[in-house]
A and B are shown apart, each in its own frame.
Chain A
């Protein structure tokens, strides 16, 4: 076994351990440990990805002295490595972009606890990406949930506390359903390891003995993960949680925490239940319909919203709808489009959140649209960042969002029954997206000479500007050179087997 095969294990354990260390450190040291650990985990994922792309096979890694069905196991392929690298990258940029705001909004004595939560969240995301065992996945889902709650409420104002309570209740319902599903799946198959469950599921489907409980089990797990990733009817916790928490938390939650659950769902579909078995149940149609509804209703809520940050939060509902719509198409092309949209949305939405805080800060800390007039001139880099993010979300060529829309449309063509609704809703949703994003872009570039708000000089916020520039570069890179990414996703999905 090559040494590079140890990297998934190293990155999970390193991030987990650094969480414990940060709890003992003063805040500046904790900050550096946090940055260093994210860089290290990202670097290891990059090395793993390069090794995979240059001919490495996907492999399982034994956690301990006992082989798979008895001990724990993690697994890595191209898609896992790419996802881990991307999560680390977005995490790092979000932390950089929100650092100044974090210093202002969070009590100084609790800063190191913030870094503890971020490290543990990253560790749980990496574990969710790499795990090959359903119970390990559940344990890290718990860490993810609690850490996300802490990230929301560390800025202690009334609305974040209420949002954290809401998030916790909804998210625990999701965890509970996932756990019930998992227990029943264990009862039916006698395994917790993904590949063994899949063998047993095939036996069950062939014999037809436990078909009904199996379908309900799958439904429970899917609904549990859908609640946790804010699919349309279950999105009530989302707007306040993203709209009022400190800005790094909002960026991390919207682009990483919910995507971890979606990736776990994709992994369950491929590696636990089996793609064909899942496609033959009606759950996939339910996901498709809810995805379509999310695309329309999320955008409508965003148009009605009067605060700029809550508007972006509602836009997340619509974008999660795109991802579930792609899963619901039930073809491999649709799945590739969904995974690509996970990347595109994470890059775009984190950029929007980081950019919007620069705009509201030069508008007297107001979230109302009317006060944002001319904010793009007062904080130039934030204005550019917001425009790029909006264009990407709307789906203008050159940026990442365009490619994912093309991929969704191509995927819909392969499925004759779902072609028409997909195309119509895709068009409607794009127009709705354009309405609220372009309205905001025009608003921030309308000159307002006598508004009375001070502008901000670029050289005072070097880290912020750097993070926005890197985000813009990431969006353009994803949009311009999409073919290698799509190929990698496609090979990665094939490796899922």
Chain B
């Protein structure tokens, strides 16, 4: 008796829950997970008709396609011609590849003084153990500066296309507020499994991303890959907990400030380095001891800047495509 538990106590134990679940008496997720089926896509009355009408208007009035025989023949000809053209292009490219220098031979043209210097003197000249980082952020930093602006201009273009402003109602008849209300209609809210997984994974993912960025000059990694990892972590967090919780630490303002600060830092730091380099002035930035975390001159801060830009860009893309606003 002394070791026996009362029935009430027993019901609280893990074993009881487990055996009841095993017998199929109780589902532990009932009450914890919102079991809601996705709403099927339903077309309103007359929608199909209207769509057909719009398509006809598009074809006849805008593209001016009357259903005449010659135009249909031309369309057929285009289909055949495009296939033939692709075939020729594939043949040409394969032919070219067969003439290219063989792979794995020491006398290839690309094994010249350029790569030799990168490999032999890279560590000494840039202070970075990871010579790829040394190449993209020191030897050829101008290209990488352009590349991070490619990301920036891509975000700007997506903002132009998809951003909705508050209080306006001309986006195909819906306003931002309605979109926000509709946002989670097609997926379950407060999913316990997803939230627990995100709760465990997101810190690890983000810390790993930070590690990849900070370790960029010492080992494989760097700003682009680390930033992508952090961005993925943020997107996972957003999916699990929704916009309300994310907005506590990441709004449009945060995005703007972070990307502005990183890009300006990149621009200014590299301008200094380009200017001193071109005018043969000694740069004041110390190289440090190779292998230490604070080493390799500008590469570490630049990696951080690139990482922040990439993470913000990924998150902003996701948010824009999902509901058109942060």
Q: Give chain A's interface residues, CB within 8 Å of chain B.
A: 1, 5-6, 9, 13, 16-17, 19-21, 23-24, 61-66, 69-72, 107, 109-110, 113, 116-117, 120, 123, 127, 133, 135-136, 139-140, 142-143, 146-147, 149-150, 153-154, 156, 159, 180, 184, 186-191, 200, 210, 212-213, 216-217
Contacts and interface: CB of A to CB of B under 8 A. Distances in A.
A147 B153 contact: yes
Contacts of B150: 139, 142-143, 146
Best-surrounded residue of A19, A64, A191, A213 (most CB of chain B within 10 A): A64
A139 B141 contact: no
A368 to B, nearest CB: 14
Most B CB atoms within 10 A — which of A19, A116, A139, A142?
Answer: A139
A63 B260 contact: no
A21 B268 CA distance: 12
Given A65-B277, A116-B153, A217-B96, 4 more contacts: A62-B277, A69-B114, A188-B100, A213-B99
Interface string B84-116: 000000001101100111000000111111100
A69 B267 CA distance: 23
B317 interface: no
A6 B263 CA distance: 22
B241 interface: no
A143 B278 contact: no
Contact of B277 (A64, A120, A139): A64
A113 B112 contact: no
13 contacts: A1-B279, A6-B279, A20-B152, A64-B139, A64-B278, A65-B273, A120-B149, A135-B140, A136-B146, A188-B101, A190-B112, A190-B114, A213-B96
Contacts of B100: 184, 187-188, 210, 213
* Interface range on chain B (Cβ under 8 Å from partner): 35 or more
Contacts of B156: 23, 113, 116-117, 120, 150
Contacts of A189: 109
B4 interface: no
Nearest to A139: B146
A415 B27 CA distance: 88
Contacts, number: 167
A490 B159 CA distance: 44
A63 B111 contact: no
A182 to B, nearest CB: 12
B318 interface: no
B154 interface: yes
B139 A153 contact: no
A20 B260 contact: yes
B114 A212 contact: no
A46 B54 CA distance: 53
Interface in B256-300: 256, 259-260, 263-264, 267-268, 271, 273-279, 283
A186 to B, nearest CB: 7
A107 B99 contact: no
Given A72-B140, A113-B159, A190-B109, A184 B149 contact: no
Contact of B267 (A17, A187, A216): A17
Contacts of B279: 1, 6
- Which of B101, B141, B274 is most buried by chain A, counting CB atoms within 10 A of its CB? B274
Contact of A146 (B110, B117, B153): B153
Contact of A70 (B114, B275, B276): B114
Nearest to A127: B146
A23 B316 CA distance: 15
B263 A20 contact: yes
A72 B112 CA distance: 17
A159 B58 CA distance: 10
A437 B101 CA distance: 53
A71 B279 CA distance: 15
A187 B153 CA distance: 30
Nearest to A150: B157
B277 to A, nearest CB: 4
A66 B125 contact: yes
Nearest to A61: B278
A216 B88 CA distance: 13
A187 B101 contact: yes
Interface string B186-202: 00000000000000000
B118 interface: yes
B96 A216 contact: yes
Contacts of A123: 149
B177 interface: no
Contacts of A187: 100-101, 108-110
B142 interface: yes
B34 interface: no
A149 B157 CA distance: 8
A216 B93 CA distance: 8
A24 B277 contact: no
B145 interface: yes
B120 to A, nearest CB: 12
Nearest to B155: A23
Contact of A9 (B163, B260, B278, B283): B278
Contacts of A110: 159-160, 163
A222 to B, nearest CB: 14
Contact of A64 (B95, B111, B153, B273): B273
Contacts of A184: 96, 100
Contacts of B92: 216
B112 to A, nearest CB: 4
B247 interface: no
A147 to B, nearest CB: 5
A300 B153 CA distance: 37
B237 to A, nearest CB: 25
B62 interface: yes
Interface centre among B101, B140, B160 (most CB of A within 10 A): B160
Identify which of B92, B138, B142 gathers the most chain A CB atoms within 10 Å of its CB: B142
Contacts of B256: 23-24
A23 B267 CA distance: 15
A109 to B, nearest CB: 5
A150 B153 contact: yes
B113 to A, nearest CB: 7
A69 B113 contact: yes
Q: Which 8 A-B pairs have the closest CB atoms?
A: A139-B146, A190-B109, A72-B142, A65-B277, A150-B157, A190-B110, A64-B277, A63-B142
A9 B275 contact: yes
B132 to A, nearest CB: 14
A71 B140 contact: yes
B161 interface: yes
A72 B144 CA distance: 11
A186 B153 CA distance: 27
Contacts of A216: 92-93, 95-96
B165 interface: yes
Contacts of A16: 145, 149, 267
B183 interface: no
